[in-house]
Amino acid sequence: ADDLPHVSESDPTAKALGYVEDASATKDPKHKAGDTCANCQFYSGGATGFGPCQLFPGKAVSAKGWCISHTVKQA
């Protein structure tokens, strides 16, 4: 998964979902403190770096990123 191209914030899907590579940079009121791709159920990468997200097939999102589709991963 490390070799997947990173999702760009300017990608149309990324824009539609309000994706940011750094969750702390979002101004979206839907963002809750502590929510990042790393604790989202659609993410299957490691705790740091980049990894796959089901919403961005064939690409990798940042572990510390975020988008409006964030759903807390169930244990």
Binding site for ligand SF4 (CB under 6 A): 19, 37, 40, 42-43, 53, 55, 61, 65-67, 69-70
Q: Least distance in Å: CB of 60 to ligand SF4?
A: 10
| Between 3 and 57, CB nearer to ligand SF4 | 57
DSSP 8-state symbol, 21: S
Q: How far is 75 from 72, CA to CA, in rounded Å?
A: 9
| Between 4 and 42, CB nearer to ligand SF4 | 42
Q: Least distance in Å: CB of 19 to ligand SF4?
A: 5
- Cβ–Cβ < 8 Å for 9, 21: yes
Report residue 24: phi and psi, to 5°.
-70, -10
